[in-house]
Amino acid sequence: MENGDDLFQHILVNLNDDFDSFEKRAIAKTILYDIAHFTMPWFTETNISEELVFNINHLISRINAGEPTQYVCGLAPFRNYLLNVDENVLIPRPETEELVSLVLANLPVLPAGKGIDIGTGSGAIALSIALESDREMDAMDISEGALQMAMSNIEKYSASVNLIHSDILNSPLPENYSFIVSNPPYIPVMDKIDMLDSVLKYEPGVALFVPDDSPLLFYQRIVALSTKSIIPRGGLFFECHPIFISGVADLLKVNGFDNVQILSDLSGKQRMVQGFMPR
């Protein structure tokens, strides 16, 4: 191979036909940008060593076997950031970017003070809020592996985020907060039958699934804790399963939250709930 364009074509040819042409080009660009650190135009890149081709062929084989490209490359885009990810954390989704936007839009009406992201995973939510506002953030997770990945992202972007290793189902919140945000596990186990193998085989089940008979398990716990841990006029923001979202909104209402709203994501699915502590 003489240049980067040859390598780009090599990747396209060797990706299997489970991917359409658009997906192949996106994967090839990700590999060349984020792994080989090439810049456009590809043909100007002439440092095509046998070792680089060997390593990229290994990545291609993993992708062809069904492993998500984000885990293969160790990177996933989220808002304006390129986050480190591995199989200890969920791959950040676009709808979670909308949850961050919802929190940021409400910050001007929230009291001064720290926020907390419960079930932080890669740290995507906490990091984004901290970097795009003047708020310090706490970020909690039960998984040590997830917290290690979150720390790598916090250090990468010098974000003002403090990590907490804790199981929210069995621990209190450490202090009072201006707001709480969470994208907790909310998929019933019975939904596995309809999910992609790439999710089931590689993404951490502990961050995805709840018992079929307790789909609101995490919401119930977080709402109960938040009634004592959110300061007056503070906010609570959730990402939810569209099927169970009305139940989450009802939880906030019966626990005394004001201005409870269900909001839709850009695809039109009811996805987020917000509510506010009274004065």
The verdict on 21 and 131 lying in the same domain is no
Token readout for 256 is: 């005394």
The verdict on 54 and 128 lying in the same domain is no
Q: 144-157 and 124-131 are packed helices; what angle lies between their axes, rounded to 10 degrees?
A: 20
Residue 73 lies in a domain: no
The verdict on 144 and 53 lying in the same domain is no
For residue 97, the surrounding DSSP H or E stretch is: helix 94-106
Structural domain total, the chain: 2
| Cα–Cα dist 145/6, whole Å | 38
Residue 271 lies in a domain: yes
Render 186-200 in DSSP notation, one character per residue: -EEGGGGGGS-HHHH
Phi, psi dihedral angles at 266 (to 5 degrees): -65, -20
Mean pLDDT of the chain: 95
On whether the pTM is more than 0.85, the answer is yes
Q: Contact at 8 Å (CB) between 230 and 277? A: yes
The predicted structure's pLDDT at residue 84: 97
The verdict on 103 and 60 lying in the same domain is no
Supply the range of the domain harboring residue 197.
79-276
Q: Is it the case that residue 1 has pLDDT exceeding 80?
A: no
The predicted structure's pLDDT at residue 89: 97
The verdict on 45 and 90 lying in the same domain is no
| Cα–Cα dist 90/184, whole Å | 11
CATH number at residue 198: 3.40.50.150
Residue 70 lies in a domain: no
